[in-house]
Amino acid sequence: MSAAPRRLDVAIVGAGPSALYTAAALARLDDPQVHVNLIERLPVIGGLARSGVAPDHWTRRQVIDAYETLARSSGRLQFFGNVDVGRDITIADLLAHHHAVIHAVGASGSQPLGIPGEDLDGCHASSRFVGWYNGHPDDADLEVRLDHERAVVVGNGNVALDIARILLRADADWDRSDIAPHARAALADSRIREVCVLGRRGPGQAAFTNPELLELAALPDVHLDVDAAELTDAPWTDTGFAATLRRRTLEACARAPATPDRKRLRLRFCVSPVEILGQTRVEGVRLVRNRLAVTDDGRVRAEPLGETEDLPAGLVVHAVGYRAQPPAGLPFDAQAGVVPQWEGRVLRSAHGEVMAGHYVVGWIKRGPRGVIGSNKSCAAQTVRALLDDFAAGRLAAPERPAASFEAFVQSRQPERVCYRGWRAIDRHERAQAQAAQPRRKLSRVDEMLRVARM
């Protein structure tokens, strides 16, 4: 007669892509038999896949639905939504009920520009602006003014291009999206006719990818404006296929004649903002021109020339990278923006001892880079480390029975949302969608809680 499978109780903090990949990997195991509790600050599942993916790219979120289904199919996954680790419960509470805690809290903040005027009305971090048009409860009430003809986006990665595209799309384009209703209404009344996207280095070093660039070039009623001189003056250190396609696309845009009645999207290179202009609200951006220098190891560095230019604008969104917030109770490397770790195990310092029972996955582990699918291999490494530690007896047995965790959480947060409540929210959002919309998102926690109780 074979021995019964060992039981392993794991808490995962967060319910975004990295959390769901991790939960799915654990759910497939038969020995040990893993029981997973998913703890999320909001009443909904999805994390950055729900609130960070552009609303006209909503199909990219579908892989997350598949992994949620896979994790849930084991019958050993419970959801604890509307539970804030650090406010309602602590990481010590979690470890008291589980063998291990996996922190999958992502990187929800934005890197600041660090220049004067950044706090003016009308200057927004990309994380907040993206949350605004995606209906994140923290950002639904963001006051976004679209009453000026020009907006400026600082940074030229894919998030920056998403923001530029969303500011210029025609209202009818949102019929097939899940954009937040309040954002669609505001964009329908927008006076913006031009968006300038600023990159500090040249086109060869821009962080955007070709699919996003080609999508911009194909936007109807929008002229993609590129200065031909900026394409020839800047160094192209990469000669591969992707770089060649990028260069040819930008050269075609530079040759295309402007049409006065079309909106304009300007891709500018070799410029850096040094000040946001205005008294109480944004009135413009002061730029400095950059010279590019190639270092001995092939890197391209931007060096300011001292020539400045004032660019009038009424809205500035800076998209120069995401930044993680220090997780409650864990060590944090503020410079790197991650929790110190070794193969997913949390370290007490960069080269310190392992913090037994605690693991990280996703952006809080490796930094804010990669796409949704990048979390799969990241999760696999963390899961391997956890299972190795369990097999080697390095994980202490929980002090309290696993069965008592639900009642404990309920005593700390009576409005905890279970998986059935999340599914009620999901069904409601889909049912409220019109025509070709995939869903009509709820953007307030009180609305979510009301629907979850139905």
Contacts of 433 (CB under 8 A, 6+ apart): 178, 439, 440
Query: How many H helices and E strands in the chain?
Result: 15, 18
- Lowest mean pLDDT across 90-99, 235-244, 335-344, 390-399: 235-244
Distances from the Cα of 275 to the Cα of 116, 199, 436, angstroms: 5, 15, 43
**CB count, 10 Å around CB of 6?**
11
Distance of CA 431 to the CA centre of its chain: 26
Does 443 carry a binding-site annotation?
Answer: no
Contacts of 31 (CB under 8 A, 6+ apart): 5, 6
| CB of 124 closer than 8 Å to CB of 183 | no
How many percent of the chain have pLDDT more than 90?
Answer: 80
Task: Classify residue 378 as exposed, middle or buried by CB count within 10 Å of its CB (0-12, 13-18, 19+).
Answer: buried
Task: Give the model's pLDDT for residue 196.
Answer: 98
pLDDT in tens, 167-223: 999 999 999 999 999 999 999 999 999 999 999 999 999 999 999 999 999 998 999
**Average model confidence (pLDDT) across the chain:** 93
Does 157 carry a binding-site annotation?
Answer: yes
Q: Which of 343, 27, 317 is nearest to 150 (CA)?
A: 317
DSSP states of 2-70 as a string? PPPPPEEEEEEE--SHHHHHHHHHHHT--SSEEEEEEEESSSSS-THHHHTS-GGGGGGGHHHHHHHHH
61 forms bridges with which residues in the sheet? Answer: none
Q: Which of 38, 10, 46 is nearest to 26 (CA)?
A: 10
Q: Does the pLDDT at position 63 exceed 80? A: no
Average pLDDT over every residue of 126-153: 97
Rounded CA-CA distance 201/269 in Å is: 6
Contacts of 123 (CB under 8 A, 6+ apart): 117, 276, 282, 316, 317, 318
Average pLDDT over every residue of 280-296: 94
Distances from the Cα of 290 to the Cα of 118, 123, 236, 266, 287, angstroms: 21, 23, 16, 17, 9
**φ, ψ for residue 273 (rounded to 5)?**
-75, 135
| CB of 304 closer than 8 Å to CB of 144 | no
- Lowest mean pLDDT across 31-35, 311-315, 340-344, 406-410: 31-35
Task: Classify residue 207 as exposed, middle or buried by CB count within 10 Å of its CB (0-12, 13-18, 19+).
Answer: middle
Q: Does the pLDDT at position 67 exceed 80? A: no
| CB of 445 closer than 8 Å to CB of 82 | yes
Does 48 carry a binding-site annotation?
Answer: yes
DSSP states of 107-163 as a string? --EE----STTTTSBTEEEHHHHHHHHHT-TTTTT------SSEEEEE--SHHHHHH
Rounded CA-CA distance 143/140 in Å is: 9
The domain ranges of the chain are 7-108+324-453, 112-322
**Structure confidence at residue 2 as a pLDDT band (50, 70, 90):** low
148 forms bridges with which residues in the sheet? Answer: none
Does 158 carry a binding-site annotation?
Answer: yes
Task: Give the model's pLDDT for residue 3.
Answer: 64
Rounded CA-CA distance 92/399 in Å is: 11
Does 406 carry a binding-site annotation?
Answer: no
Does 425 carry a binding-site annotation?
Answer: no
Rounded CA-CA distance 232/341 in Å is: 43
Q: Does the pLDDT at position 258 exceed 60? A: yes
Domains 7-108+324-453 and 112-322 share a fold: no
Average pLDDT over every residue of 298-324: 93
Task: Give the model's pLDDT for residue 5.
Answer: 75
Question: ω before 32 within 30° of 0 (cis)?
Answer: yes
322 forms bridges with which residues in the sheet? Answer: 110
Task: Give the model's pLDDT for residue 4.
Answer: 66
Q: Does the pLDDT at position 366 exceed 90? A: yes
Does 294 carry a binding-site annotation?
Answer: no
Report the C-alpha dihedral over residues 316, 322, 327, 330, rounded to 10 degrees. -140
Domain 112-322 has CATH 3.50.50.60: yes
Q: Does the pLDDT at position 275 exceed 80? A: yes
Average pLDDT over every residue of 340-355: 92
Does 372 carry a binding-site annotation?
Answer: yes
Contacts of 47 (CB under 8 A, 6+ apart): 14, 15, 16, 17, 18, 19, 40, 104, 106
| CB of 379 closer than 8 Å to CB of 21 | yes
Does 283 carry a binding-site annotation?
Answer: no
Distance of CA 64 to the CA centre of its chain: 14
Token pair for 99: 């063998």
Note the CATH number of domain 7-108+324-453: 3.40.50.720
